[in-house]
Amino acid sequence: MKKTKLCELLDIEYPIIQGGMNWIANAELAAAVSNAGALGIVSPTAGMRLEDDQEENLRSHIRKAKSLTDKPFAVNFPLQTPDVDKLIDAAIEEGVKVVTTSAGNPALYTAHLKEAGVKVLHVVASVRHAQGAERQGVDAVIAEGYEAGGHNGFDELSTFALVPQVVDAVSIPVVAAGGIADARGLVAALALGAEGVQIGTRFVATHECIAHQNFKDAVVKAIDTGTVITGRKLGHTRGLKNEFTAKMLETEGSGASPEELLVLIGLGRSRSGELDGNVVDGELYCGSIAGMVKDIVSAGDVVRIIVEGYDRVVAAL
Ligand SMILES: Cc1cc2nc3c(=O)[nH]c(=O)nc-3n(C[C@H](O)[C@H](O)[C@H](O)COP(=O)(O)O)c2cc1C
């Protein structure tokens, strides 16, 4: 398949990024994705316990990923993470060359990362935020629609509507995220003007991902309507429907304040769902494309199947 500007920017073969995934974007997953010619991403909290040291955890995943691949890989930093500046400096010290930032202001760390020779891609959910990120000097934006698993933008723009508007509004490469899991999604994203795609949910159901087997099985079992957004007063979050999301929606519907909702969520709810396999009342970040994920395969095969399907989809147009 054709090389895009994203491939050139990141020195990768295929314009596919495995999204950062709090708790479950581990070194083995990232390395498998990078070895297949796409870009793997490590998350600072991958596999750790709540009481563990996040910086130590991050360093160990970066070192492990380096031992498993000599291809480029990245680290994702949700910018509201406490002490994120220390984590960013640790990644720079460990020689990480690409970073994605999300859920925060790109004005805070982009210049620092760029001075250290690190490429920065920032996740956005609106044209205004994409333009702001471009002004801060990021190398590319990841335009994420609200189909995506995990935290979404407040305005609930779909990937199909968001991506072409962002493409028209900025001159840096745009990566499409949210609702993409196969070659059709990749081709559609490129047709909308994106230079590549970021995929999360499909990579949960892979052998290398550290997610609990119960979570992987729940993704495979999910149907098209199997996810829901909760937390509209706090920060929209898409996850698999379960007792927890039902309780959240009921409590939100009763007019609970953001503070009351925070108490309901408590600490480590998504860790409990995603790493401990508590699929009943844990939180399970998951995108609405889960209904199309029918099996657990290797992360390299996810990339290979998309790449192999690309020519077939283009030829059928
Ligand atoms: C389990 C899970 C955890 C996620 N955690 C993060 C995160 O920590 N930081 C981030 O920027 N995005 C996070 N995301 C979003 C992904 O990086 C990616 O953009 C998104 O999953 C793409 O949409 P898709 O789920 O439809 O593939 C998460 C997604 C999932 C499914």
For 265-306, how does the pLDDT look when each residue is reduced to its tens digit (9 = 90+)? 999 999 999 999 999 999 999 999 999 999 999 999 999 999
Position 2 pLDDT exceeds 90: no
Output the CA 198–ligand 1 centroid distance in Å: 9
Q: Domain 5-210+295-315's class?
A: alpha beta
Count of C-beta atoms within a 10 Å radius of residue 170: 19
**309 CA to centre of own chain:** 22
CA–CA separation, 113 and 118 (whole Å): 5
Locate all alpha helices (DSSP H) within the chain, ordered by sequence.
5-10, 27-35, 54-68, 84-93, 110-115, 127-135, 159-169, 183-191, 201-204, 213-221, 243-253, 258-265, 269-274, 299-315
**Rounded average pLDDT over 217-234:** 97
CA proximity to 38, closest of 221, 219, 293, 302: 302
**Rounded average pLDDT over 117-138:** 98
Strands 237-240 and 196-199: unpaired
Give the pLDDT of residue 1.
Answer: 87
pLDDT digits (tens, 9 = 90+) for 28-83: 999 999 999 999 999 999 999 999 999 999 999 999 999 999 999 999 999 999 99
Q: How do the domains of the chain map onto residue ranges?
A: 5-210+295-315, 213-289
The one-letter amino acid code at 144 reads E
CA-closest residue to ligand 1 atom 6 = 21
Position 220 pLDDT exceeds 90: yes
Output the CA 315–ligand 1 centroid distance in Å: 30
Kindly give, in sequence order, each residue whose CB lies less than 8 Å from that of residue 116, ignoring residues fewer than 6 positions away: 92
pTM of the model: 0.98
CA-closest residue to ligand 1 atom 3 = 21
CA proximity to 227, closest of 204, 257, 258: 204
Position 109 pLDDT exceeds 90: yes
Residues 207 and 231 sit within 8 Å (Cβ to Cβ): no
**Rounded average pLDDT over 100-118:** 96
Give the pLDDT of residue 63.
Answer: 98
Position 183 pLDDT exceeds 90: yes
Position 239 pLDDT exceeds 90: yes
CA–CA separation, 262 and 123 (whole Å): 24
CA proximity to 268, closest of 14, 48, 5, 79: 48
Give the pLDDT of residue 33.
Answer: 98
CA-closest residue to ligand 1 atom 20 = 200
Per DSSP, 151 falls in state E
Per DSSP, 20 falls in state P
Ligand 1 neighbours (beta carbon < 6 A): 19-22, 24, 43, 76, 78, 102, 123, 144, 147-150, 177-180, 198-201, 204, 274, 285-287, 289
Please give the C-alpha separations between residue 115 and each of 97, 112, 136, 137, 293, in angstroms, as whole numbers: 12, 5, 13, 11, 40
Output the CA 309–ligand 1 centroid distance in Å: 23
Q: Within the chain, how many helices (H) and strands (E) appear?
A: 14, 11
Give the pLDDT of residue 125.
Answer: 98
Give the pLDDT of residue 253.
Answer: 96
What is the DSSP secondary-structure string of 55-95? HHHHHHHHHHHHHH-SS-EEEEEETTSTTHHHHHHHHHHTT
**250 CA to centre of own chain:** 28
CA-closest residue to ligand 1 atom 1 = 285
Give the pLDDT of residue 84.
Answer: 97
CA–CA separation, 193 and 91 (whole Å): 31
Residues 124 and 141 sit within 8 Å (Cβ to Cβ): yes
Give the pLDDT of residue 204.
Answer: 98
Give the pLDDT of residue 88.
Answer: 98
Position 185 pLDDT exceeds 90: yes
Structure tokens at 279: 């699929």
For all residues of the chain together, what is the average pLDDT? 97
Please give the C-alpha separations between residue 292 and each of 115, 177, 192, 223, in angstroms, as whole numbers: 41, 16, 21, 8
